[in-house]
């Protein structure tokens, strides 16, 4: 049978738009958003709240995430993990002041780990619990499994911190469409909201990180010109200053964990209260019954935190310099992050740039909204006229360790991504078949002052005279800002095999343990998901069958018609119950009852198709 080219029958068989979300995995709060009917929208929890406190508590029987966990902080400090983002991709030696965290740290190599009542936990699995809650919230409201998510990270996050974020998503089966830098996400939300071209600065002071990015928006292209920051500076530090002030003013000795948590909580509330008031009382009773009764004024607060604000100005100047711009070139300044609500922050920014910052979008929500917009685009949902592109950069220089503990820079900071850079190496011993490369990130000259990323071992170099081999190592940084490496011996064209030993990664045993533990809690999720999926299948079947009855109902006898209608009624009834099993049975039954009908419909359509044909065309 020979075929002809026909006109496309359905204009864009657009199955329902894909389900994609943007997730702001913040130090203090996390949010999830989606683009709904073309509008970026934050998804609220069942109490109508947008913000999910990034707090995870390991209780006796279960894991509690969010507001409930936050409230138990002071009573169960060792098992209630707060600000886990600060520990992602970090080792014990990286954390400045251990005393401010009441956790049981373990002295291990690589990424930090802590001990809870239900076992050893690492930051990846703790973050995964937060992501899990957001994923479930989204799936419940969007009616099905997510096709992917864009997760935001501070622009200044290094490779280890980014990898850890991606691992956390992987642990709960969430497909990461892109890791998006937080300031860039905010720029997208603002840029598309305002629609004005120009050069913008984004000042993002979150709970634990500070980023500043300079972007140009022109003809629908968001181009990041430079980004700088401090991945250990945020609103939390302002809380900590108040905490220290309290200790000083009340002449307190080192306190037990519960009291530390209590005072830190009060410090945070005081900070927030000072946004709208000139002074705030700090009243508490410690576990030894001692009473604290102090008053903190805005003046004092500004004084004791002035150095923190000053610390944020340096990255701004560096970013401007790298972008080869001056502050006068900046058309608008966007503030992101709850901490930018502090009046002294707003004043400092306005003063530096000589213009009032843009604050129309909610600083807590803007990052999640921007991420949702990008998720929507990546998943193929956007319309043709909604064409825009994001060109981001890598924040830190990439280098290799060379003789004498020095760093040779191979990729400069603020280079546009994706990028590839090749570097040639050779052997220094006759017959050498392996090579070790230590890759670091950072701006300093000495290896010990930079962040160790990973050690790459190359094997399978054909044995040659020393210095004869030409091994080309290609470094690639993808659009997520993640590094991958490949190597090839040029003279013999052999691909060397590479063993990567990430400095802050996890070993296999740990990954297995994490997966097994997450299965236990996933069981309940699976039931909920099975129900949601069956309900969707039911809705589709109901729709299709009703349509079929309308079109070809005449193919059925009146008894057959009635039997089908009865099955549909039952199906509808089961659909609205929460019984997965009953629904599944009803679906199976309905399919059985309608199969004869389906067969007759098919015959009818084949008949229709064949009768229009010329006898010569049918072989």
Partner 1 sequence: MRDYYALFSLPRRYTVEREALTAAYHRAQTIAHPDQTAFADEESKRRAINESALINEAYHVLKNPVSRVRHLLQIHGADLAQGRLSVSFLEEQLDAREAAENALQNGDQTRLNDLLNALRRASLQRQIRLAALLDDEHISREALRQAQNIALELQFLERFADDLDEKSGL
Partner 2 sequence: MAIRLTPSAVKHIQTSLSKRGKGIGLRLGVKTSGCSGLAYKIEYADEIHPEDVQFDSDGVLVVVDKKSLLYLDGTRLDYIREGLSEGFKFENPNVRAQCGCGESFTV
Backbone angles phi, psi at 32, to 5 degrees: -130, 140
Burial class (CB within 10 angstroms; exposed 0-12, middle 13-18, buried 19+) of 457:
middle
Q: Name the one range near partner 2 by CB under 8 A: 33-41, 279-287, 554-562, 608-616.
A: 608-616
Among 379, 458, 464, 593, binds partner 2 (CB under 8 A): 379
Question: Is residue 617 within the footprint of partner 2 (CB under 8 A)?
Answer: yes
Q: Which stretch binds partner 2 (CB under 8 A): 12-20, 395-403, 406-414, 447-455?
A: 12-20
User: DSSP code of 18?
Assistant: P
Q: Which does 605 bind (CB under 5 to 8 A by kind): partner 2, partner 1, none?
A: partner 2
48 binds partner 2 (CB under 8 A): no
Helix (H) or strand (E) holding 528: helix 508-552
If one asks whether residue 166 binds partner 2 (CB under 8 A), the answer comes out as no
Residue 417's binding partner out of partner 1, partner 2, none, with CB under 5 to 8 Å set by partner kind: partner 1
Tell me, rounded to whole angstroms, the distance of Cα 48 from its chain centroid: 22
What are 455's two structure tokens? Answer: 């050690």
Q: Mind giving me the DSSP string for 161-175?
A: HHHHHHHHHHHTT--
Per rule CB under 8 A, is residue 610 in the interface with partner 2?
yes
In degrees rounded to 5, what are phi and psi of residue 387?
-100, 115
293 is catalytic: no
Q: State the Cα angle at 47 between 44 and 53, rounded to 5°.
A: 65
Find how far residue 555's CA is from the centre of its chain.
54
Q: Is residue 253 within the footprint of partner 2 (CB under 8 A)?
A: no
9 is catalytic: no
Answer with the entry of partner 1, partner 2, none that 606 interacts with (C-beta below 5 to 8 A by kind): partner 2
- For residue 391, state whether it binds partner 1 (rule: CB under 8 A): yes
Question: Is 581 one of the catalytic residues?
Answer: no
**Is 219 among the residues that bind partner 1 (CB under 8 A)?**
yes
Contact pattern from residue 458 through residue 487 relative to partner 1, giving x for each residue in contact according to CB under 8 A and a dash for the rest: ------------------x-xx--------
Q: How many residues bind partner 2 (CB under 8 A)?
A: 25
- The residue with tokens 């990052």 is 367
Identify the DSSP state of 446: B
The active-site residue, picked from 85, 121, 135, 271, is: 85
Q: Which is nearer to partner 1, 173 or 418 (CB)?
A: 418
Nearer CB in complex with partner 2: 403/618: 618
Q: Applying CB under 8 A, does 491 fall inside the site for partner 1?
A: no
Terminal Cα distance for the chain, rounded: 6
Strands (E), 206-341: 210-218, 221-230, 279-285, 291-297, 332-336
Cα–Cα distance measured from residue 50 to residue 136, given in angstroms and rounded to the nearest whole number: 14
Q: DSSP string spanning 541-598?
A: HHHHHHHHHHHHGGGS-HHHHHHHHHHHHHHHHHHTSS-HHHHHHHHHHHHHHHHHHH
Residues 563-602 that bind partner 2 (CB under 8 A): 602
Establish whether 527 is a catalytic residue.
Answer: no
Q: Does 5 bind partner 2 (CB under 8 A)?
A: yes
- Establish if 559 lies at the interface with partner 2 (CB under 8 A): no
Confirm or reject binding of residue 619 to partner 2 (CB under 8 A): yes
Residue 406 is a binding residue for partner 1 (CB under 8 A): no
Residues 6+ apart with CB under 8 A from 11: none
CA dist., res. 66 & res. 73, Å (int): 11
Which listed residue (380, 431, 467, 553) binds partner 2 by CB under 8 A? 380
Which residues of 107-175 form beta strands (DSSP E)? 113-116, 119-121, 148-153
Active site residues: 24, 85, 182, 204
Q: Which residues in this chain contact partner 2 in the complex, by CB under 8 A? A: 1-9, 12-14, 18, 379-380, 602-603, 605-606, 609-610, 616-619
Q: Which residues in this chain contact partner 1 in the complex, by CB under 8 A? A: 148, 177-178, 218-219, 221, 223, 314, 317-318, 321, 374, 377-380, 387, 389-391, 415-420, 476, 478-479
């Amino acid at each position: 049978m020979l075929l002809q080219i026909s006109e496309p029958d359905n204009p864009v068989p657009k199955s329902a738009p894909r389900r994609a979300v943007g997730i702001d995995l913040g130090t203090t709060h996390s949010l999830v958003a989606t683009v709904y009917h073309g509008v970026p929208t934050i998804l609220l929890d069942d109490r109508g709240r947008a913000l999910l406190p990034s707090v995870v508590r390991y209780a006796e029987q279960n894991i509690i995430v969010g507001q409930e966990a936050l409230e138990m902080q002071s009573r169960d400090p060792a098992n209630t993990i707060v600000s886990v983002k600060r520990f992602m991709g970090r080792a014990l030696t990286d954390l400045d002041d251990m005393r401010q965290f009441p956790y049981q740290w373990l002295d291990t190599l690589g990424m930090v780990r802590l001990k809870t009542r239900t076992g050893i936990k690492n930051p990846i699995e703790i973050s995964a619990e937060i992501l899990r809650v957001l994923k479930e919230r989204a799936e419940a409201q969007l009616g099905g499994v997510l096709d992917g998510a864009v997760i935001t990270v501070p622009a200044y996050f290094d490779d280890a911190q980014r990898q850890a974020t991606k691992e956390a998503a992987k642990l709960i089966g969430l497909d990461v469409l892109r890791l998006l830098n937080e300031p860039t996400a905010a720029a997208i939300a603002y840029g598309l909201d305002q629609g004005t071209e120009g050069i913008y600065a984004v000042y993002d002071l979150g709970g634990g990180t500070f980023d500043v990015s300079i972007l140009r928006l022109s003809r629908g292209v968001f181009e990041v010109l430079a980004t700088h920051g401090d991945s250990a500076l945020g609103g939390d530090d302002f809380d900590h200053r108040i905490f220290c002030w309290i200790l000083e003013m009340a002449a307190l000795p080192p306190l037990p964990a519960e009291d530390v948590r209590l005072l830190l909580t009060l410090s945070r509330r005081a900070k927030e209260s000072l946004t709208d008031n000139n002074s705030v009382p700090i009243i508490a009773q410690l576990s030894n019954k001692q009473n604290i009764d102090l008053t903190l004024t805005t003046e004092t607060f500004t004084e004791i935190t002035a150095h923190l604000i000053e610390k944020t100005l340096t990255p701004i100047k560096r970013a401007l310099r790298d972008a080869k711009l001056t502050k006068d070139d900046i058309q608008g300044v966007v503030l992101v992050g709850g901490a930018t609500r502090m009046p002294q922050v707003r004043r400092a920014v306005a003063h530096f740039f000589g213009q009032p910052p843009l604050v129309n979008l909610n600083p807590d929500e803007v990052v999640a909204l921007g991420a949702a917009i990008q998720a929507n685009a990546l998943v193929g949902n956007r319309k043709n006229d909604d064409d825009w592109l994001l060109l981001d950069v890598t924040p830190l220089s990439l280098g290799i360790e060379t003789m004498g503990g020095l760093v040779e820079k191979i990729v400069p900071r603020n280079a546009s991504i994706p990028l590839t850079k090749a570097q040639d190496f050779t052997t220094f011993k006759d017959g050498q078949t392996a090579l070790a490369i230590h890759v670091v990130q950072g701006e300093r000259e000495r290896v010990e002052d930079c962040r160790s990323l990973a050690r790459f071992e190359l094997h399978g170099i054909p044995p040659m005279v020393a210095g004869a081999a030409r091994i080309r190592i290609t470094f690639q940084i993808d659009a997520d800002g993640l590094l991958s490496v490949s190597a090839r011996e040029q003279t013999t064209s052999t691909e060397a095999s590479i063993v990567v030993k990430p400095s802050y990664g996890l070993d296999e045993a740990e990954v297995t343990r994490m997966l097994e533990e997450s299965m236990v809690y996933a069981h309940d999720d699976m039931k909920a998901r099975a129900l949601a999926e069956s309900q969707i299948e039911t809705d589709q079947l109901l729709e299709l069958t009703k349509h079929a009855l309308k079109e070809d109902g005449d193919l059925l006898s009146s008894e057959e018609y009635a039997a089908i209608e009865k099955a549909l009624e039952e199906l509808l009834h089961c659909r609205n119950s929460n019984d997965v099993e009953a629904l599944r049975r009803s679906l199976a039954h309905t399919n059985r009852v309608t199969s004869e009908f389906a067969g007759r419909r098919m015959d009818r359509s084949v008949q229709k198709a064949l009768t229009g044909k010329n006898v010569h065309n049918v072989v």
